[in-house]
Structure 1
Amino acid sequence: MTTTTGDQWRRPGPTPEQRRLDLYGGLAVTVLALFSLTLTRSTGAFLLGPPPSGPEQVFWTVAGTLPLIWRRRWPAVTALVVSAVFIAAQARSAPETQLSSWALFAALYTLGAWGPNRRLARRLRVGIIVTMFAWLGVYYAVTVGSIPPDAFARAVGPVPPVLAAIVSGVLINGLYFGVAYFFGETAWLAARRQHELVERAEELRRSQAEARGRAVIGERVRIARELHDVVAHHVSVMGVQASAARRVFDKDATKARAALTAIEETARTAVDELRRMLGVLRAGEGTPEPVAPPAGVDQVAAVVERARDAGLRATLGVYGDPVPLPESVSQAVHRVVQEAVTNVIKHASGATVLDVRLRYLAKEVEVDVTDDGRPTRPPNPDGLGLVGMRERVATHGGTLEAGPRTGGGWRVRARFPLAVAVAEAA
């Protein structure tokens, strides 16, 4: 995400609703200014001197307030027009000053809050403020000579009356323009921060959506891997046992019954594992059903036993001092052995010997599965079985080797870092 900051950010223009509000507000201010002009003329309080004609007074009043209807649409033009009319109206001694002063304040504030070009907005505001103070100096220079001698007859302070009046005017105008400038900058900064919050919220929403998509894909891959491991292994064993039962059915009833018993047990095991997987998937729906623990290292012997039932001379060797493994690593070891044995049963032609070794080494746990068969087809490195084993091993920071042996047969060797496994178990 690229977020513009500082002077690079451009505030979006006003919405149609904001434009309508500016229209109504500008018209309301103009009407109030005309009403203020009527009151001023009625009281005769012409503080700036003899006023111009009535139509000219109305013109200056309308010209100084009506441009506010475009204040957020064209803030720079509005500020320039209102400030220029303000100075010209005072030069002509237009009597209405109250609403005109507020119109100038609103124009300066809007230029600071809505100016699309920050550098231009700052320069224009500083230029207008400097011009206003220059006009104030000119006004004082022109009018100070025409002050009546008795204008300060009741002055009792230590500061000379004229100097006091000038300093008071400068301070009031400084506060007036300073507040307009400050609140304009504050409004613009608030809008920019709001824009950044919206951008970050949108980026967060997109990131969450992508994370949810990745989680769904990962869950689908995990389910596919589990189904492949469970179904492929048990169905392969059942197929071998069924073939054996068919061959000896009429010759040796005892062997046929043993093969059928093995098929029955394998089917039950497959159903139990499938039920466990479905229980995990349904755990988030209402009250979870009791789920049996997943197969682990302790059930590797059962896998080897099923290989014996399939007709292989299968052996299991455990070397080193066994250490407690976390459930995920233990399950990964079991699945690697199960998939390797399944591949021997399904794809190894003429295989008679299966050797499974589990080694607890100093820094890793090693699983080594070898056979003496010949592949019935070229190995597929992108097959679900090999891909699933690689993913399982890589998840725990391990390595996997799968390929033909020099003396014939096939070998699958997986290594899991023991330090990480023990830390996870702890």
Structure 2
Amino acid sequence: MRSWTIEEWRRPGPTARQRRSDLWTGFAVAAVAVFSLFLLRSTGYYHSDHAPAIPEQIFWAVVTTLPLAWRRRFPDVVAVVISVCFIIAQVRFSQEQMITTYALFAAIYTLGAWGPDRQRARIVRLVIIAVMFAWLTVSYALYRDIIAVSTSDASGELPQFWSAIFVGYLQNVVYFGFTYLMGDAAWHSVWRRHQLEEQAAELRAAQEAAAGRAVLDERVRIARELHDVVAHHVSVMGIQASACRRALTKDPEKAVTALTAIEHGARTAVDELRRMLGALRASTPVAVEGPGAGIDRIEEIADRAREAGLEVHFGTYGEPAALPDSLSQAAYRIVQESVTNTLKHAQAGTLDIRVRYLAGELELDVADDGRGGTGAGSSGMGLIGMRERVTVHDGTLEAGRRSTGGFRVRVRLPYSSTVGSTA
């Protein structure tokens, strides 16, 4: 969305309703001007021996006010036309000078409030005002004798003639200055409303984009959790089922052990699925990961790997520190996914899991002696999930084949020693 500057912005034209309103206003003001003309003639205001016939005075009253019917559609043209007709009417001594004066002010105001080109609107208004003051000066010079006669009964302390001229200038400065400033104020009010509407539209667009990103992030998170939680248990169950099939006739006791492990894994997977689906159905945000999935349960992962037939070496080194729940859960899931990859793809016989508490860092080291690696390359879903978890906690991830054979995942997650677990 383009952001307009105050000089570049163009106010939208009048609506159909506003144009109809202006049309009726123009005709109404013209009718009032004609009525005012007859009233002024009857009271003797602005009477002059040089006044034209009544039809011409009606003509000047109409042409000076009727253009208001198009004041918002063509504000600059209307202002110029009314100004020219106003001066000509005064030159011709038309007696209607009250309503036509208001029409002139309305035209100048409308140009300030609705002029599409701000620079042109400013210039046209200043030129009109300058011409009006020039005409005022000329009229004072041409009709000095009339002014002197009209002020002959004055009783003030200042010179009569110059006081009358000063009053005339002062009135016009106030009238024209007020009209000019009010027009600008109206235009700026609409400009500020336009800015607020633009900002509101940008805010709505940003909210929609944020909502879309949130939905996408949630889908990615759900996919990662399903992969981490379910894939691990299903992989273990698959290996146990294979071991059970081989031992069913030769070693029934071992087959029973494998079936027990399969049963336990299936129940655990179903429980995890039920918990995640419950969180998705909840009307309020619910943490998908329960408090049980933490670093203190990593040894259970090692036990399940042993049950699957691997020789597992597990060790915790350093002084265990209290970790934030999110970091503890991330560590658990990273080790879980690493072991899952080993079970699914590595064809390994030995698995080494080490948890090290370093100075301000938690190191997770999972290595196997297999030949298959991750089975998914660097773009595998498991490694993507691990990278996402590591990135959230500003950690580092190293994953790749070892020179001595096998695959290794090493993760370092920084933590503050002053932060304790809320579990």
Both proteins in one fold, TM over 0.5: yes
**C-alpha distance 8-368 of structure 1, shift in aligned 2 (>3 A):** same
**C-alpha distance 58-10 of structure 1, shift in aligned 2 (>3 A):** same
Which stretch shows the higher mean deviation, 323-332 or 139-148?
139-148
What is the alpha-carbon distance in structure 1 between the residues aligned to residue 265 and residue 147 of structure 2?
A: 115
Structure 2: runs of 5 or more not aligned: none
Report how far residue 408 of structure 1 moved: 0.7
Structure 1 residues 231-258: Cα deviation after superposition (integer angstroms, max 9, x where no partner): 1100010111111111112222211111
Q: For residue 109 of structure 2, what is the aligned residue in structure 1?
A: 109
Aligned ranges for residues 183-262 of structure 1 at < 5 Å? 183-262=182-261
TM-score, normalised to structure 2's length? Answer: 0.95
Report how far residue 41 of structure 1 moved: 2.4
What is the alpha-carbon distance in structure 2 between the residues aligned to residue 188 and residue 290 of structure 1?
A: 54
What is the alpha-carbon distance in structure 1 between the residues aligned to residue 226 and residue 117 of structure 2?
A: 61
Matching residue within 356, 359, 373 for 2:356: 359
**C-alpha distance 338-264 of structure 1, shift in aligned 2 (>3 A):** same
Aligned ranges for residues 318-333 of structure 1 at < 5 Å? 318-333=316-331
Report how far residue 185 of structure 1 moved: 0.6
| SS across alignment from 1:315 | strand
Report how far residue 192 of structure 1 moved: 1.0
Identity %, equivalent residues: 55
Matching residue within 366, 370, 374 for 2:371: 374
**C-alpha distance 263-95 of structure 1, shift in aligned 2 (>3 A):** same
Structure 1 residues 277-328: Cα deviation after superposition (integer angstroms, max 9, x where no partner): 1222223269x89994251111111111100000011121111111111111
TM-score, normalised to structure 1's length? Answer: 0.94
What is the alpha-carbon distance in structure 1 between the residues aligned to residue 408 and residue 357 of structure 2?
A: 18
Which stretch shows the higher mean deviation, 376-385 or 188-197?
376-385
Structure 1 residues 53-81: Cα deviation after superposition (integer angstroms, max 9, x where no partner): 11101110110001111111111111000
* CA contact 2:279–2:288 (8 Å) conserved in 1: no
Matching residue within 388, 394, 397 for 1:397: 394
Q: For residue 158 of structure 2, what is the aligned residue in structure 1?
A: 159
* CA contact 2:323–2:419 (8 Å) conserved in 1: no
Q: For residue 32 of structure 2, what is the aligned residue in structure 1?
A: 32
What is the alpha-carbon distance in structure 1 between the residues aligned to residue 148 and residue 395 of structure 2?
A: 99
* CA contact 1:25–1:69 (8 Å) conserved in 2: yes
Q: For residue 417 of structure 1, what is the aligned residue in structure 2?
A: 414
What is the alpha-carbon distance in structure 2 between the residues aligned to residue 239 and residue 147 of structure 1?
A: 113
Q: For residue 293 of structure 1, what is the aligned residue in structure 2?
A: 291
What is the alpha-carbon distance in structure 2 between the residues aligned to residue 319 and residue 118 of structure 1?
A: 75
Q: For residue 271 of structure 2, what is the aligned residue in structure 1?
A: 272
Alignment of 1:65 with 2:62, yes or no, is: no
Q: For residue 4 of structure 2, what is the aligned residue in structure 1?
A: 4
Aligned ranges for residues 82-97 of structure 1 at < 5 Å? 82-97=82-97
**C-alpha distance 231-378 of structure 1, shift in aligned 2 (>3 A):** closer
Report how far residue 344 of structure 1 moved: 0.8
Q: RMSD between aligned alpha carbons? A: 2.1
Report how far residue 372 of structure 1 moved: 0.7
What is the alpha-carbon distance in structure 1 between the residues aligned to residue 156 and residue 335 of structure 2?
A: 102
